[in-house]
């Protein structure tokens, strides 16, 4: 009989495991969320409303790394957290650089579009000036002005729209001044992007010689929208958004002056 101790399956103690065998690791949920937020943060290049995803990704990444380092090896996923951090930072940096460039380009397009309106209305080209209130894919053809006027008068809704448009005092003034009006860009009030549509509000200074030969100036606020036709994101177009308006910049508004009795009065601005 051998002196070798025989061991059997049942002689082993099941719970007699070493400390290293009892240890376990699990993947950090924060690291996974950080990576998902980092990838989703690139949606910010479509609309700035997704800017919060990049910020969220950065915060989750730092939180995940901190938790993993302090877990004494029980948490894994530090590379995933680092990936989420890099993706979030790239999207935030990219939009910080590219978004102002994009808005500048939109503003320049709007300036070009508004100047067309001033130029065509000054030439008494009402069909085209009126047509700019609609997107190019919705505008009636204006190559034949006589046919355009005929179509407008035959359609009672279009006829009413023409009368409403020409009732605008500013439209009549620009048309009456014609080539005497000198239009210059003054400033941009706002450039906003929402729902795949850009809206720009610019102010223009319109100068003209009065009867005495002196130059007078008034300001015009123009608002336009840039959008895409349905199903075609490559062919953006512009249209006037609302009617042009007289506008008085804050820096030209009359300052309050003390009256004889000491009360503050404000000199009304002169309307041209």
Q: What is the mean pLDDT of each run of 10 residues along the chain (272 residues)?
A: 47 46 77 93 80 91 91 90 93 87 91 95 88 86 78 78 85 92 95 85 95 92 91 81 90 59 42 42
pTM, 2 dp: 0.68
CA angle 247, 248, 250 (to 5 degrees): 130
CA–CA separation, 74 and 195 (whole Å): 45
- Which pLDDT value is given to residue 72? 85
CA–CA separation, 134 and 111 (whole Å): 17
Let me know if 59 is exposed, middle or buried by CB neighbors in 10 A (0-12, 13-18, 19+).
middle
- Which pLDDT value is given to residue 271? 43
Question: DSSP label at 139?
Answer: P
219 DSSP β-pair partners: 205
Alpha helices in 123-241 (DSSP H): 126-131, 145-154, 156-166, 169-177
- Which pLDDT value is given to residue 18? 47
CA–CA separation, 104 and 139 (whole Å): 27
């Amino acid at each position: 009989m051998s002196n070798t101790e025989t061991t059997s399956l049942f002689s082993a103690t099941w719970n007699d495991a070493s400390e290293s065998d009892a240890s376990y690791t699990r993947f950090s949920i924060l690291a996974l969320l950080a990576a998902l937020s980092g990838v989703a943060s690139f949606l910010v290049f479509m609309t700035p409303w997704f800017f919060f995803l990049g910020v969220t990704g950065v915060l989750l990444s730092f939180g995940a790394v901190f938790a993993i380092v302090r877990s004494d090896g029980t948490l894994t996923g530090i590379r995933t957290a680092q990936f989420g951090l890099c993706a979030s930072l790239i999207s935030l940096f990219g939009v910080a650089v590219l978004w102002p460039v994009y808005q500048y380009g939109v503003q320049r397009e709007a300036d070009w579009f508004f100047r067309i309106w001033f130029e065509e209305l000054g030439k008494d080209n009402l069909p085209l000036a009126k047509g700019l209130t609609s997107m190019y894919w919705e505008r009636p053809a204006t190559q034949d002005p006589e046919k355009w006027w005929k179509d407008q008068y035959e359609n009672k809704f279009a006829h009413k729209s023409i009368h409403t448009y020409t009732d605008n005092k500013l439209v009549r003034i620009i048309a009456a001044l014609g080539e005497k009006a000198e239009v210059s860009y003054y400033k941009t009030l706002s450039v906003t992007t929402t729902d795949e549509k850009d809206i720009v509000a610019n102010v223009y200074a319109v100068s003209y010689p009065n009867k005495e030969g002196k130059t007078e100036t008034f300001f015009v606020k123009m608002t336009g929208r840039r959008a895409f036709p349905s199903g075609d994101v490559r062919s953006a177009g512009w249209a006037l958004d609302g009617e042009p308006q007289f506008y008085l910049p804050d820096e030209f508004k009359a300052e309050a002056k003390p009256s004889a009795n000491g009360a503050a009065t404000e000199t009304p601005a002169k309307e041209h």
